[in-house]
Chain A
């Protein structure tokens, strides 16, 4: 039973649609969904974001965990860094660390030069002071005098782009947002899938079997419902540390309750329908009826609910991040980035703005897609 419902869910989520072939409901829905421009646009946006989250970190110009010590909290800019006026002072400061006499530096195109001399022969290893800086690369000593005591330090200016700026550790925000999208979407989808799996089977069983079993099962749901979510999560994080799997399990484990209630309601209604009674009369066993008749027919409202569940899970994850219970560094999530950004709101606004836009776009798209699906699946509308 479990297998079946996952497959169904997955297919519906990817809008592959005609899983239950020949069923005009799904084909109709698919047709209507395609006509809904907002929903189609949302689906495309989501697909693009998902691709960005999956492949973005691989192709981004900077790794998400690479630290650029010279570029801590650099504002977002389309222009490449370093800015022209910063090159000479930076070069002077790195060369001075080599403890040699320095002349005046000058920039020619993308190289920078500075005469240097020392009372002893110049150690060729001093170029590493320059190379270590994020601003320069390929440092070398040219025009070395015969006694080896003077020469010219030459280096290429290393141009870097930080389209969205950098964070408090000097990491590229764009790369962090991409990995954040990956983590947030994964948490959203996995938590929802878990809620789906658990909620649908639980609800269907309770609703279909009814009677005393239903009473007990629903009482358990009521009890869990009254246990505060944060309590549960804090304890899990405390017990097992903060890892990604745990966070989606925690969120999924609290979100399946609603799902179970919805599905139970549907199942209660369905089991009085003629086709279920017919199947019973034919001697199909309980698990067969659940699998063939009850669960597939609850999928309409379930799909709609899932599209609302994903954004809910993403927001819950961001609340955890705000409370300091988010995923472990150097991984990050949109919630974590936004919560960092909110702490930097005065002074480094880019840290809030770009992750917030990313999150808002995702949630917007999910909401519109959810609306579209509801309209498409709502039989009353026909």
Chain B
């Protein structure tokens, strides 16, 4: 198992290298540069700036320079936030995004599996329809609609929770953003769990367990859910990578200092290094979570072996 993990990590290095290369040249192809603002700069000043950031050098030189720094863990200076290096930005922003995303995933797992299992047990009853209906509703409303509505409802009209802000991560400030992030995930997890549980309940070993007279609670808890968790795990792998690296919608609407916004801000502002940094971080998360999914699969499903 350990050797397998090691091998996978080694395999990820060329993948990352290719991603960095593609992203580096793609963003450079985009028209405009980091210093093209609404108020155009004097050509002379532009020249000074380009020189200060090595942008006057040949592209291949810059690429080599970037790779060399990257190998040492340096993601370069940010062009649009010049008081910070890209590493600085992630150091403050990533924990925020990971915290929010982590809470949203946990919430989605707990509530989603519970609702899904409930619906499966009460298949084709009012409870089932209610869960499926709500879950579908949860998937169909885009977060950029849910977020302002939650903020208005609980922040402005009822005044129960802050309408926005982060406040160094106080719990009260986290509730609405976590709810917005979790809502569609709860819906999907509930649907996946429901489907898998129904299937599991029909399977031979659950039938046998029931025939032995084991209480439904235990049958469902131990046998059915264990099988049902597999599709959830494989769904949550890539989703977790996406959630933990922040959401541009939720961060913009609630004013949260995570890294989700950097990507869009960076790409639109041609902050080359910031975009590259985000690409690298997201790629690392995707690789890691794919690995975690595979390992979890091996642990949960005895048929899968990695040797």
Contact = CB atoms under 8 A, between A and B. Distances in A.
A230 B149 contact: no
B275 A367 contact: no
B15 A226 contact: yes
In the complex, the 10 A-B pairs of residues with the closest C-beta atoms, listed nearest first = A363-B140, A226-B283, A226-B286, A234-B267, A322-B144, A360-B140, A238-B30, A367-B136, A318-B142, A228-B282
A319 B139 contact: no
Indicate the size class of the contact surface on chain A.
Answer: 35 or more
B143 to A, nearest CB: 8
B136 A231 contact: no
Interface in B144-188: 144-145, 148-149, 152
A364 B1 CA distance: 43
A235 B25 CA distance: 11
A66 to B, nearest CB: 27
A359 interface: yes
A227 interface: yes
Contact of A231 (B23, B137, B238, B249): B23
Contacts of B139: 311, 363, 367
Interface string A50-80: 0000000000000000000000000000000
Given A231-B275, A339-B144, A345 B149 contact: yes
Contacts of A368: 136
Interface string B248-289: 110000000000000110011000000100110011001100
A345 B19 CA distance: 40
Interface in A285-331: 311, 315, 318-319, 322-323
8 contacts: A222-B15, A228-B282, A230-B267, A311-B139, A319-B144, A341-B145, A360-B137, A364-B136
Interface centre among A322, A339, A368, A374 (most CB of B within 10 A): A322
B287 A226 contact: yes
Interface of B: 15-16, 18-19, 22-23, 26-27, 29-31, 136-137, 139-142, 144-145, 148-149, 152, 195, 199, 202, 238, 248-249, 263-264, 267-268, 275, 278-279, 282-283, 286-287, 290
Interface of A: 219, 222-223, 225-228, 230-231, 234-235, 238-239, 311, 315, 318-319, 322-323, 335, 338-339, 341-342, 345-346, 352, 356, 359-360, 363-364, 367-368, 374, 380
Contact of A342 (B18, B30, B148, B287): B148
Contacts of B144: 318-319, 322, 338-339, 342
Contacts of B30: 235, 238-239
B256 to A, nearest CB: 16
B29 A235 contact: yes
Contact of A311 (B140, B152, B283, B286): B140
Contacts of B29: 235, 239
Contacts of A231: 23, 26-27, 263, 267, 275, 279
Given A223-B18, A338-B144, 4 more contacts: A230-B267, A231-B26, A231-B27, A235-B27
Nearest to B281: A228
Contacts of A227: 19, 22-23, 279, 283
A341 B144 CA distance: 11
Contacts of A235: 26-27, 29-30, 267
A234 B287 contact: no
A223 B15 contact: yes
Contacts of B26: 231, 235
Identify the interface centre among B26, B152, B249: most chain A CB within 10 Å of its CB.
Answer: B26
A368 B137 CA distance: 11
A338 B22 contact: no
A234 B26 CA distance: 11
Contacts of B287: 226
In the complex, which of the residues B142, B152, B278 has the most CB atoms of chain A within 10 Å of its own CB atom?
B142
Contacts of A380: 199, 202
Given A226-B19, A231-B23, A338 B282 contact: no
A352 B145 contact: yes
A304 to B, nearest CB: 11
Nearest to A220: B18
Contacts of A359: 140, 142
B286 A225 contact: yes
B53 to A, nearest CB: 20
A225 B268 CA distance: 22
Nearest to B241: A226
Interface centre among B30, B145, B287, by most chain A C-beta atoms within 10 angstroms, is B145
A234 B264 contact: yes
Contacts of B290: 222
Nearest to A360: B140
